[in-house]
Structure 1
Amino acid sequence: MHTASLAATTAGYAMPQLWRILTKTGYFIGLSGAIGATVTYATTVRPALRTATARSEDAEVLRRRTAHYLAWTGVVLLVAGYFQLAARVARAGKGMPFGDALAPDRIRDYLQAPAAKGAWMAQGTLYLVQNVVLVTAAATLIALFVPAVRRQTDRIALAALPLALAVTLIAGVPTTTPADLDAWLNPVFGQTHIVAGTVWLGGLALLVALAGTRKHLGDGAGLLWAETWRRFGLVAMVCVGAVTVSGLWLSWKHVGGISQLWTTGYGIALLVKLLLVSGLVTAGAFNQFWLMPRIVRARTTDDTTSLLHLTLRHFPKVVWGEVILGVAVLVVVPFISGSARTEAGSPKAVSSGTLFASGAALAIALAVSLYATAKASDALARRGLPSSAA
């Protein structure tokens, strides 16, 4: 009886085709690489390398690895962007086979199609601008394969950062005037969700890749990496807050009740994503409440052996698990299509003053909880230290 009911409820759900799963997952991997790596380099790696604890030899090793990593993210972004554009062509209008949509002339026709009635810009023109920016961002990053250019890694990374962000932000620009406040907020929260998620997951991947240089680092590299993990912990907490707030808005727009999480195709896919993200948050909490306090204590007591072990062996193992969970999240994303409300026949979600007040209160509570998390981690780090060291 339950199986029959579930089949009836999910009848309106369209399972994505394999090419759609691969292109969308690949596109978000490309965005995570470009956005996450450049933002994390600017906010975490670069400042840590400039601290007094960074040996010049260790800093050079990490800069060189970062440059190669950024160059490869450019390659991935370029390839993923092309297949994502072809996927848009395949889904446009009455649709066409994905293989046909890969042809340059089909892509050209799509990008040159006239604007729809009432639109201020053609959808194809918007995607043309997006992909010009994408190619520019990718080319900027790919230039780091050239040895002479790698000497300017800081400038290249900082130049690529706004370009990488613009790739997704441009895609969120509406081509018609939004009808109401909700229509304005949907792309805002959608892009917030994408940017925060890609910074979080892409940053984790970059730091795991950099941790692979531990055999080429000196015994004092633990101090450098302690600062790196500390800085990224703050970035990750901001991302968690942004992903949570934007995710709640998007979930409310598309899910009309808790039961729709397991009685609709959209809801089931979203539930799987929520479980995976919960795993990411749990791993992050483990880092904050168990690993970071131990790193701080080792740093304070000048225990370089423990510090090196914690920052370059133990911590990266946990982060590897987070990266795997993050990739799983991106694989699930293509399955979250349509709306659970539509499948279940629920009314359209309409915002109100009460909703915004509740959302503001929730955002404040979340900010307070994240601040309390940081303070609790500091308190745990000070536990057991001599009063002079604390």
Structure 2
Amino acid sequence: MSSLLLAADTAGYTLPTTWRALTKTGYFIGLTGSIGGLVTHAATVRPALRGSTGAADDIAVLRHRSAICLAWSGVVLLVTGYFQLAARVARAGTGMPFSDALAPGHIWHFLRAPAAKGAWIAQSTVFLVQNLVLLVTAATLIGLFTRGARRRLEPIALAALPLALAVTLITAVPATVPQATDDLLDLVFTQIHIVSGTVWLGGLVLLSVLTGARRHLSPNAGLLWADMWRRFSLVAMICVAAVVLSGLWMSWEHVGGISQLWTTGYGLALLIKIVLVLGLVTAGAFNQLWLMPRMTQARRAGETASLFHLTLRHFPKVVWGEVALGLAVLVVVPFLTGSARTEAGSPQAESSTGIFAAGAALALALAASLYATAKASDALSRRPAAATDPA
């Protein structure tokens, strides 16, 4: 990837500095852990544990491990958020060395900067509010390291969830009123892309880490985990739809033709990202059409050992591969700077009734394909299985 982008540098594409690439990737990792972890806990782990009739010890182990994972996500969010703020300071105005931007004095001066002429709110105020919310979110999650807070895991996690979402959503507040519909749509689709992507990857990370507790779980824990994987598969499918649709809009905005994917620096970075996301989607389809039906078959047949193997040994191996691909996507994100249209000298994108109609048709087609995938998975789960244990 690096050699391709370096080659594109001569065509007007500027590689981000090392500190910029690291801080941006780190920031998205922080969002992934907090937003993805909290949404997955609320939509997958919590309802599965509450509805489980399994051993109380299994529930206690997973609840404790989930709390610790969320606590660590608070630490990561706090650290990466600070570096991201310093990166903003380093790039503001005439700029300054990143090492100098780390100083609290420079950060405080940046957060007190006055509003630009014509702005209804200072951009610095937006960043100030965002980072105050980030601080509260991180502190709330870090508190789960204490035994007393872990006993109140559910209300604390539910309280932290809207705060974590606000950390990224606040940055979408424009300092000036958007002049065109496209500008507003850019803000909306960018946040949809960020939230859905972090929920998807963060959920995979949380559940993968939780499977590490399998040595402390009873043989019947496969039933509980089958329910969790089933719940998360629905969340993941929704996220896939949101990522694809928002990604299509953003790609149309910045890429004026297919050839720009390999003739511009932005396009090359986007092409690499697309390949990685396709790998994620392929792995998800494998889970939905091969592993999920086998888990359902094993559950109906009462094959406890096979279900435990599928849910806590085989399934996590595939998911860890998805996590690796997802992290690779985050590494690529900082290289998506500028626009392929600008590099190629193409005209800026302009929306029209035809564009919106095409987008609506794509959305319907995507919804239909996801529905068909879900129905196919359900049909496969009802087929007699010769062997449900892949070992």
Q: Which category describes the TM-score, using the shorter chain as reference length?
A: over 0.9
Q: Matches of 1:322 and 1:9 in 2, distance apart?
A: 30
Check conservation: 2:8, 2:264, Cα contact below 8 A.
no
Write out the 4+ residue segments of structure 1 that deviate beyond 6 Å after TM superposition: none
Check conservation: 1:34, 1:77, Cα contact below 8 A.
yes
Q: Matches of 1:154 and 1:57 in 2, distance apart?
A: 18
Could you tell me the TM-score, scaled by structure 1's length?
0.96
**Counterpart of 1:114?**
114
Q: Matches of 2:53 and 2:269 in 1, distance apart?
A: 45
Residue identity in the other structure for 1:211: T
Deviation at 1:269, TM superposition (A): 0.4
The percent of aligned pairs where both chains have the same amino acid is: 70
Deviation at 1:355, TM superposition (A): 0.5
Deviations 1:296-324 (A, max 9, x none): 00001100010000000000000000001
1:214-293 to structure 2, matched below 5 A, reads 214-293=214-293
Check conservation: 1:78, 1:134, Cα contact below 8 A.
yes
Deviation at 1:51, TM superposition (A): 1.5
Deviation at 1:384, TM superposition (A): 1.3
Q: Matches of 2:182 and 2:44 in 1, distance apart?
A: 35
Residue identity in the other structure for 2:143: A
Deviation at 1:95, TM superposition (A): 1.1
Residue identity in the other structure for 2:101: A
Deviations 1:332-375 (A, max 9, x none): 10001100000000000010011001101110110111011000
Q: Matches of 1:225 and 1:7 in 2, distance apart?
A: 47
Q: Matches of 2:72 and 2:308 in 1, distance apart?
A: 28
**Counterpart of 1:309?**
309
Q: Matches of 1:236 and 1:74 in 2, distance apart?
A: 23
1:123-162 to structure 2, matched below 5 A, reads 123-162=123-162
Q: Matches of 1:55 and 1:93 in 2, distance apart?
A: 59
Deviation at 1:55, TM superposition (A): 2.1
**Counterpart of 1:58?**
58
Task: Sort the Cα spacing of 1:8 and 1:152 in 2 relative to 1 into closer, same or farther, 3 A.
Answer: closer
Deviations 1:233-288 (A, max 9, x none): 00000000000000000000000000000000000000001011111000000000
**Counterpart of 1:322?**
322
Check conservation: 1:74, 1:139, Cα contact below 8 A.
yes
Check conservation: 2:8, 2:265, Cα contact below 8 A.
no
Could you tell me the TM-score, scaled by structure 2's length?
0.96
Deviations 1:118-177 (A, max 9, x none): 111111110000000000000000000111111001111111100000000001111100
SS in 1 for 2:51: coil
Residue identity in the other structure for 2:22: L
1:161-200 to structure 2, matched below 5 A, reads 161-200=161-200
**Counterpart of 1:336?**
336
Q: Matches of 2:23 and 2:9 in 1, distance apart?
A: 28
Q: Matches of 1:45 and 1:8 in 2, distance apart?
A: 44
Q: CA RMSD in A?
A: 1.4
Q: Matches of 1:184 and 1:256 in 2, distance apart?
A: 20
Q: Matches of 2:36 and 2:125 in 1, distance apart?
A: 27
Deviation at 1:7, TM superposition (A): 5.5
**Counterpart of 2:389?**
none
**Counterpart of 1:103?**
103
Check conservation: 1:86, 1:98, Cα contact below 8 A.
yes
Q: Matches of 2:385 and 2:290 in 1, distance apart?
A: 15
Residue identity in the other structure for 2:358: S
Deviation at 1:11, TM superposition (A): 2.4
Check conservation: 1:196, 1:239, Cα contact below 8 A.
yes
Check conservation: 2:8, 2:263, Cα contact below 8 A.
no
Residue identity in the other structure for 2:94: K
Structure 1 residues without counterparts, runs of 5 or longer:
none
Check conservation: 1:10, 1:263, Cα contact below 8 A.
no
Is 1:358 the counterpart of 2:332 in the alignment?
no
Number of equivalenced pairs = 382
Deviations 1:27-68 (A, max 9, x none): 000000000000000000001001143321111000000111
Q: Matches of 2:350 and 2:111 in 1, distance apart?
A: 33
Q: Matches of 1:10 and 1:238 in 2, distance apart?
A: 40
Q: Matches of 2:49 and 2:134 in 1, distance apart?
A: 28
Task: Sort the Cα spacing of 1:66 and 1:52 in 2 relative to 1 into closer, same or farther, 3 A.
Answer: closer
**Counterpart of 1:80?**
80
**Counterpart of 1:39?**
39
